[in-house]
Structure 1
Amino acid sequence: MILSRRWRHPAAVIGLMVLEFCLTVPILALFGIASPDLYRTKLWEDGADNGFNSSPQTLVYAAANYRPMDVPDVWSQFTTNFNLVISVLSTFILLTKSVMFIMHTFIPLISLLSHALLVALYAVSVRYQTAPDTNDPDHPQNGPPWYITKDCGVASDPNNVGYCKQAKTAFILTCLML
């Protein structure tokens, strides 16, 4: 039965694809808006102003003193790009699955492989979005960033409240895609 070529409940597959569509489109929009750096540095700086995490200025000071310092994963350009790429890939896979299902070529084994890939990619995304920021020994952030763990009303800049909500929503959708 594992290598079956037919779906037992095709209506359930269609329902799950509709649900996936309802999650994929907003996550694509949110990560597309966030790229390349709409609010990542602003939220990083806001967290530093509140004492929640390191400051982006520590990278400037480290460079001026010829000390190597890496950008924490949660604030890195790689994370933003990775999230955008997996959201585009998810959209492509969803469109491909839909066409294959209509053409009766989307067999359960292909479904298993495509969903295993997506689960792995979104698990990595959740890991990067919740990565610690321990660059500043005076303000270590060992868990997820402040915009996930705290209310967005604590932002020191009122303009960052909307960005905080957008980042929090993107994180929630990423978790739902798992």
Structure 2
Amino acid sequence: MRRALLISLAAVGLMAAEPAAAPDRPLPDARQEARARALFVDIRCVVCQHESIADSPAGIAGDMRRLVREEIAEGRSDAAIREDLVRRYGDFVLFRPPVRPATWLLWFGPLALVVLAGIGLMLAGRRRPPEVTALSAEEERRLTELMQEQAVRPDPDASSPNDRHGDGSTI
């Protein structure tokens, strides 16, 4: 029973896996293939997100490589191919998205965070310590009394390693 359950779970896992990408078919023209490979490095896999389509084993990356090769074979420029991919998948598909208002946070966000952190640290460092006023004569007298009372009245919970029990053993 247990074995049948494990086999069925494995079968479900295999069915849920993405099918392998079709093998790449390089372009017959070496210059066109070199252009395609240069574009592959600049285009992000929409599944893996941290890999280019040149390095990604995902099926969609294979489809994107095939699409780029088809468009190069049709004579489209690199810029036109990038624009088409951005139209389909958004600016995120490019490792170096264009600088425009929609991508300002992406481009300038890290710098803004560093500047804001620096300003915050400068402001925290410039903060004045609170002014300390001297004690009045009455406060001095009261403090002295309290200090003397503490010297006479030991803390019942405090112990010293040299304290001894009545039988001579240490605590």
TM range (shorter): under 0.3
Larger C-alpha radius of gyration, 1 or 2?
2
Greater relative contact order (Cα 8 A, min sep 6): structure 1 or 2?
A: 1
TM-score (norm 2): 0.26
In terms of fraction of residues, the more helix-rich structure is: 1
TM-score (norm 1): 0.26
